Amino acid sequence: MTTTVRLLVGGPTTSWPTNLAQLPGPWVGADRGALRLVKLGIQPTIAVGDFDSIDDRELATVKQALTGTVVVKPDQDQTDTQLAVKTIFNRLQPDELVIYGATGGRLDHLLANLWLVLDPQFRAWAPKIKLVDLQNTVQFFLPGDYTLTKEADKKYLAFVPMLPTHLTLRDAKYQLHDAYNDYPISWASNEFVGTTSHFSFDQGVVAVIQSCDAKK
């Protein structure tokens, strides 16, 4: 059975999936994300961060609700999200880590979260990490040959080589054949043809995004 851990970080609540509060745990909260979990009635397994975005009273509330431990960030060399990801894989060893609150809001936070998997200390975990928000699901892949399954509520499909690679999209609406890029690029606004799509690449890291337009 696949073990899934969910991590809530401090991005805007407006970017959350509508069913976030109903998703099963275990949950981990990073900084203000831990307080938001408690306010949703969710008991975090671990709370991680320097907690500079919440006051002492709020931190005490988090500690009272915890089922596990608080991990305090020792310095500013890593973000709260980076420390949370490292703590989760070292302590809980999940098959899958789904991160919420990692998009929307400040662009520097978004880029730090997207680029996290490029750090050598995190790269081996890249295929197990997923970023999810109201409109997007982002998965990360290491070199290989893959079959994607379409999410029912998503229309668009994007392939984002994050490092130099040769990319082949065999049966998406818009195909590529051994296309080489030596810089990051988003092959955006592609679509599934049917319910699956196959792709392959030979080196680096590729992010795959399934997305939909915002509801008006």
Q: Which fold has domain 135-216?
A: Rossmann fold (3.40.50)
Q: Which residues contact 172 (CB under 8 A, 6 or more apart)?
A: 157, 190, 191, 192, 193, 197, 199
pLDDT digit string, tens, across residues 52-94: 777 888 888 888 888 878 887 676 778 889 999 999 999 999 9
Region 152-171: mean pLDDT is 97
Inter-residue contact 91 to 98 (CB < 8 Å): no
Q: What homologous superfamily is domain 1-134 in, according to CATH?
A: Thiamin pyrophosphokinase, catalytic domain (3.40.50.10240)
- pLDDT value, residue 53: 79
pLDDT range class, residue 216, cuts 50, 70, 90: low
Q: Give the CA distances from residue 33 to residues 51, 72, 80, 211, in Å, rounded to whole numbers and listed in that order.
A: 10, 14, 10, 24
Q: Of residues 161 and 55, which shows the higher confidence score?
A: 161
Q: Give the CA distances from residue 170 to residues 10, 107, 111, 207, in Å, rounded to whole numbers and listed in that order.
A: 37, 33, 29, 17
Q: Where are the domains of the chain?
A: 1-134, 135-216
- DSSP assignment letter at 45: S
Question: In the predicted model, is pLDDT for residue 129 greater than 90?
Answer: yes
Same CATH topology for 1-134 and 135-216: the answer is: yes
Weakest mean pLDDT among 12-16, 26-30, 51-55, 92-96:
51-55
- pLDDT value, residue 108: 92
Residue with tokens 């909260």: 29
